[in-house]
Amino acid sequence: MRRRAERAARMLALLLAATGCLVVTIAASQAAEPGASQLPVFEDVGAWRDLFRRPKVSEPVADADQEARVRLGRHLFFERLLSGSGRMACSTCHDPARFFQDDRPRAVGVFYRSLARRTPPLFDLAEVRPLMRDGRAASLEEQVLMPVLDPDEMGQTAEGLLEKLGRVAFYRRTFAETFPAEGLSLPAIARALAAYVATLESPPTAFDRWVEGEEDALEARERRGLAIFLGKGGCIACHVGRRLTDDRFHDIGLPTSDLGRGRFDPDRASRFAFRTPSLRWVARRPPYMHDGSLGSLRAVVDHYDRGGIDRPSRSPSVRPLGLTEQEKGDLIAFLETLSRPPPETRVSALASDRHR
Ligand code: HEC
Ligand code: HEC
């Protein structure tokens, strides 16, 4: 369902770009004093909002078995016995207080081994396929044991893991109750961890309010930034949907020796290509990119403005933009609306609030 809705959003974005039938015009955007006359005028604003709307999905039926798996998965997520050193849990890198990331440019694994890439956030992943920055995991269940068994990441072995957990009465009992067929086993550990990770959701933002129809959820400057995101900046070509990602792989021209998707896919466009990341809460989650090489949103916007390295794999949607200083500032102001809670919740909004 959600996939279909995202495809529809992408089609709409392409259609809009191709026909130019919906235009975002900015009246007198260069004027010194921001005022009502400079507000971008979104023609047919509903269609633009649809590009970011949460796809309609049927609510999962509350299921006691699934809840038990989630509870067990949560225990395992914070469990240091999952690492070879006994000192590292999933939460060491995916810190719940930091949107399930850490603040290191690249992750540091067991015994202080440096990993090649930055820890990504773990929210809104329930339906994302494939996972990992290069797409090498087909599903959450396939992904969650990868860090455990990777010698540089958590450095545990299958035998070590089962033996250490098997010594704990709580795990022996809970696995037997929760997974009567498998008991304490690798597939059961994977199912529990995946069930927990699938429940993690990013909190609502001020921008969600705009999407829901509250025009004043964004200030003038932020609306100008949104117009650049949709128009001159071309960001919408890849950052679309409620999570502001198409979940596809693109080379955006960063200087890197990491082939990304290109390690698995011979297609020319896959070289140096990484999965488009979610932009939810992005201003709170520096540094940016697969290698944490850009320290601030300003650095990110400067990168897109320059267009990155011109090479055969670079996406045709990434090219020098010629943004003015004011446009860069407005674009950053818009990205910040994706990164702050909505203003005090109105009673009318509560009725339609789907978040817990
Ligand atoms: C040493 C730090 C570290 C630890 C510990 C760690 N991860 Fe990660 N995690 C990463 C990094 C780095 C990536 C990105 C790797 C890549 O894309 O190549 C990642 C990627 C992921 C992804 C894919 C996210 C996406 O958007 O594709 C999931 C899911 C995940 N980790 C879950 C877990 C779970 C569950 C555990 C514990 C069993 C765990 N991680 C332990 C650093 C860590
Ligand atoms: C061709 C598709 C594409 C376009 C167009 C695009 N992006 Fe991206 N964006 C990506 C990909 C892919 C990455 C991740 C690259 C990496 O990890 O090396 C990314 C990363 C980012 C990040 C860092 C997120 C993080 O968590 O590390 C930000 C912020 C961002 N883009 C904002 C923008 C803005 C603003 C624009 C418009 C000026 C834009 N993007 C245009 C595909 C795109």
Q: Do 150 and 250 belong to one domain?
A: no
Alpha-carbon gap, residue 233 to 319, rounded angstroms: 9
Q: Do 100 and 147 belong to one domain?
A: yes
Higher-scoring residue by pLDDT: 20, 213: 213
Tens digits of residue pLDDT in 51-101: 998 877 767 677 899 999 999 999 999 999 999 999 999 999 999 999 999
State the ligand closest to the CA atom of 232.
2
Confidence of residue 4 (pLDDT cuts 50, 70, 90): very low
Q: Which of 183, 198, 213 is the last residue of a domain?
A: 198
CA of 309 to the centre of ligand 2 (A): 14
Alpha-carbon gap, residue 334 to 232, rounded angstroms: 14
Q: Do 192 and 73 belong to one domain?
A: yes
Residue to mutate, 132, 238, 261, 274, ligand 2, most ligand atoms under 8 Å from C-beta: 238
Confidence of residue 347 (pLDDT cuts 50, 70, 90): very low
Q: Which of 198, 223, 246 is the last residue of a domain?
A: 198
Tens digits of residue pLDDT in 262-278: 999 999 999 999 999 99
Total structural domains within the chain: 2
Q: Which of 137, 167, 198 is the last residue of a domain?
A: 198
Running DSSP on this structure, what letter comes out for residue 249? Answer: E
Q: pLDDT value at position 19?
A: 36
Q: Do 71 and 189 belong to one domain?
A: yes
Q: How many residues in total does the chain contain?
A: 356
Output the domain CATH number for residue 254.
1.10.760.10
pTM score? 0.89
Q: Whose CA is nearest to atom 15 of ligand 2?
A: 289
Indicate if the pLDDT at residue 219 is higher than 60. yes
Q: Do 35 and 88 belong to one domain?
A: no
Indicate if the pLDDT at residue 354 is higher than 50. no
Which residues constitute the domain of residue 20?
Answer: 2-57+203-352
Indicate if the pLDDT at residue 325 is higher than 70. yes
Contacts of 170 (CB under 8 A, 6+ apart): 75
Instruction: Determine whether 95 is exposed, middle or buried from the number of CB atoms within 10 Å of its CB (0-12, 13-18, 19+).
Output: middle
Q: Do 169 and 28 belong to one domain?
A: no
Higher-scoring residue by pLDDT: 258, 36: 258
Confidence of residue 29 (pLDDT cuts 50, 70, 90): very low
* 73 within ligand 1 shell (Cβ under 6 A): no
Higher-scoring residue by pLDDT: 44, 224: 224
- Mean pLDDT of the 145-170 span: 96
CA of 67 to the centre of ligand 1 (A): 23
Alpha-carbon gap, residue 200 to 216, rounded angstroms: 29
Indicate if the pLDDT at residue 208 is higher than 50. yes
Q: Do 188 and 323 belong to one domain?
A: no
CA of 322 to the centre of ligand 1 (A): 36
CA of 276 to the centre of ligand 2 (A): 6
Q: pLDDT value at position 10?
A: 52
Q: pLDDT value at position 115?
A: 94
- Mean pLDDT of the 330-344 span: 94
Confidence of residue 306 (pLDDT cuts 50, 70, 90): very high
Side-chain half-sphere CA neighbours of 92 within 13 A? 21
Residue to mutate, 289, 294, 323, 337, ligand 2, most ligand atoms under 8 Å from C-beta: 289
Q: Provide the percentage of residues in the chain whose pLDDT is more than 90.
A: 76
Question: What is the bridge-based pairing of β-strands 24-26 and 40-42?
Answer: antiparallel
Q: pLDDT value at position 46?
A: 86
* 135 within ligand 1 shell (Cβ under 6 A): no
Q: Do 30 and 148 belong to one domain?
A: no
Q: Whose CA is nearest to atom 5 of ligand 1?
A: 90
- Mean pLDDT of the 15-35 span: 39
Q: Do 210 and 125 belong to one domain?
A: no
Q: Beta strands of 131-226 (E only): which ranges?
A: none
- Output the six-digit token pair for 22: 């919906």
Residue to mutate, 112, 122, 129, ligand 1, most ligand atoms under 8 Å from C-beta: 122
Q: Do 48 and 146 belong to one domain?
A: no
Indicate if the pLDDT at residue 224 is higher than 80. yes
CA of 152 to the centre of ligand 1 (A): 12
Higher-scoring residue by pLDDT: 165, 343: 165
Q: Could you tell me if 101 and 95 are in contact, meaning their C-beta atoms sit under 8 angstroms apart?
A: yes
Q: Is the peptide bond before 287 cis (omega within 30 degrees of 0)?
A: yes
Alpha-carbon gap, residue 287 to 300, rounded angstroms: 10
- Mean pLDDT of the 236-252 span: 97
Q: Do 238 and 164 belong to one domain?
A: no
Alpha-carbon gap, residue 207 to 54, rounded angstroms: 12
| Token pair 């995991």: residue | 137
Q: Could you tell me if 82 and 76 are in contact, meaning their C-beta atoms sit under 8 angstroms apart?
A: yes
Q: Do 151 and 23 belong to one domain?
A: no
Alpha-carbon gap, residue 298 to 304, rounded angstroms: 10
Q: What is the mean pLDDT of the chain?
A: 87
Q: Could you tell me if 273 and 262 are in contact, meaning their C-beta atoms sit under 8 angstroms apart?
A: yes
